[in-house]
Homo-oligomer: A and B are copies of this chain.
Amino acid sequence: MRSLGSNVISVKTIGRLSMYRRLLASLLGEGAQYVYSHQLAHKAGVTAAQVRRDMMAVGYSGSPTKGYDVRELAESIGHFLDCPDGQSVALVGIGNLGRAILSYFAGGRRPHLSIVAAFDKDPYKVNRVVLGCRCYPMEDLVPVIQDKGIRVGVITVPAGEAQPVADTLIRAGIKGILNFAPVPIRAGSQIYVEDIDMAMSLEKVAFFARKGSLEKEVGK
């Protein structure tokens, strides 16, 4: 077991590990004990070599005869990806999209990630509990995040407010941002930012739906 982070690991590998884990959980539910790399690869839409390569990153080895032990592998990935005592997340912007995300991640629906605070500038939305998550006014953003020691933020506000909100989050101590606003977020290299631009994605799909797409499906 290597606990050293010296060996650099790619963003894409982390994403696939997260996907593998979910697929493994579903396999466990079906009662599967062992799985081969090519089976997992099929479910994940990648190649078997890719799966085995990713397993090198977590340091888990399978058996050449039986493949990977489903439960052990899922636990290894969890051990690698998760913070042992869970992580808290803040969400800014309680619109339709914000509520959609709350319904996935608030109220302890996920074991290791939980949205524990939501913020909005609309006075009618604050000081209530939405989908199991306490809502605060924007003014309380910095103190609440510092109080709860939150390091992860999700932005679901309109384009014009995204960058100022991000700056405030960073000032409050946030280290990672998931941004849904259709504008790339600018942050220092100490902050990890992932932009999910649905408008862009839909335009991509529309484009390749017209041109005959001889592309492969992308994991992300």
Contact = CB atoms under 8 A, between A and B. Distances in A.
B196 A213 contact: no
A174 to B, nearest CB: 8
A177 interface: yes
Contact of A192 (B192, B196, B208): B208
Question: How many copies, total?
Answer: 2
B203 A113 contact: yes
Contact size range, A: 35 or more
B45 A186 contact: yes
Given A14-B204, A15-B203, A189-B214, 17 more contacts: A14-B203, A15-B204, A96-B96, A97-B97, A105-B202, A113-B203, A151-B209, A151-B210, A175-B209, A175-B210, A176-B209, A184-B219, A190-B212, A193-B217, A194-B201, A194-B205, A196-B196
